[in-house]
Structure 1
Amino acid sequence: MFKKFVLFVCVVMVFASCQNPKKVNSSVDPVNWKKRQTFSHSGLDSLKTGTTYLSVYSEIYSQTEHITHELTVTVSMRNVNRKDSIFVASAQYFDTHGELIHSYFEQPIFIAPMETVEIVIDEKDTQGGTGGNFLFDWKQQSGVLEPLFDAVMISTSGQQGLSFSTQGKRIQ
């Protein structure tokens, strides 16, 4: 009887381990975006607007164009103001071919003074490819410092580590 039970448990474990893992765009819980939403759009209409472009790499070429190395991407949205919040109206992630992969929130979110809000793209999520990028639309009061957008890409394997960063560029 005990052998049958052990065999049953082993069979269940084998079937459970063969399931395809759920594809994850980011380890950031979408519920957190709802907690940051701003609901008063009338107050945001009078704010100064801008758009920032940020390049990210969920994989890079290694040795040849046929071998790639997967990377974890941490995208940071930073408010460098000591007293004023800023608002990010959209954060859109595109792949190498310019196809939209993910739009992170539907309503503008706030970032409190000196706060950093992050999007993490898991190492196994290579949808962005070697030429992924983000577009951020943001709003702020006049006279307030613009938000900073940057990304850190990292991977470790055994004793080898690889990391580099990119900085956003305002395009509008």
Structure 2
Amino acid sequence: MTPLFKTFIAFSALLVINWSCRELEPENGPGSVDWSERTVSADAIDSLAAGETYLSVYSQIYSSKEKRTHDLTATVSVRNTNSLDSVYIEKVEYYNTAGQLIKTFIKQPVFIAPMETIEIVMSEDHLKGGTGANFLFYWKKKERTPEPYFEAVMISTSGQQGISFTTQGRRIK
């Protein structure tokens, strides 16, 4: 073996060891919102216009055949597109492919400041949602304020293969 090849093998082994010893990110990792710092009383937003938005997300997608899946990280963005007024999220529910409630993210209403984006990160190793996971967002806003915008970006890499795509929320009420 040449010295260059030996160096390459040693470097590759170090990368593998470093990667395998890394700490896993929590389910709602860096960039995710701390809901407790944003709470508002339900009475304060009682008179505002209400709506519900559905957002599809994918913890997994099928790859080459039905029995083989590819795991994905999903970043859910909730955006306030208004530069003057806050919008409010009353409840965030996360459902799996079978329609079973997996998690409720907030216990009381929270605000999103003007032009702010908050995120929920579902890591690649969080597979509870399956191939048909979805969110329901219950929100409130002032009458003339635009609705919040909901979007998800799913991404994964494996070797030199990369997958990414987006979904947009749809108002259902």
Aligned residues: 152
Seen in structure 2, the aligned counterparts of structure 1 residues 80 and 27 have a Cα distance that, compared at 3 Å, is same
1:77 corresponds to 2:78: yes
Q: What does residue 120 of structure 2 align with? A: 119
SS in 2 for 1:97: coil
Write the mapping of 1:1-172 to structure 2, written as runs, cut at 5 A. Answer: 25-27=27-29, 32-39=34-41, 41-172=42-173
User: Aligned AA for 2:103?
Assistant: H
User: Aligned AA for 1:112?
Assistant: A
Given the two structures, how large is their TM-score scaled by the length of structure 2?
Answer: 0.82
Shift of 1:26: 2.9
Question: Whole-Å Cα distance in 1 between the matches of residues 25 and 94 of structure 2?
Answer: 15
Given the two structures, how large is their TM-score scaled by the length of structure 1?
Answer: 0.83
Q: Percent identity?
A: 53
Question: Whole-Å Cα distance in 2 between the matches of residues 142 and 148 of structure 1?
Answer: 16
Structure 2 unmatched ranges of 5 or more:
1-19
Alignment RMSD (CA, Å): 2.1
For the Cα contact (< 8 Å) 1:28–1:119, is it kept in 2? no
SS in 2 for 1:34: helix
Structure 1 unmatched ranges of 5 or more:
1-16
Range 21-30 or range 141-150, more displaced: 21-30
For the Cα contact (< 8 Å) 2:55–2:150, is it kept in 1? yes
SS in 2 for 1:82: coil
SS in 2 for 1:43: helix
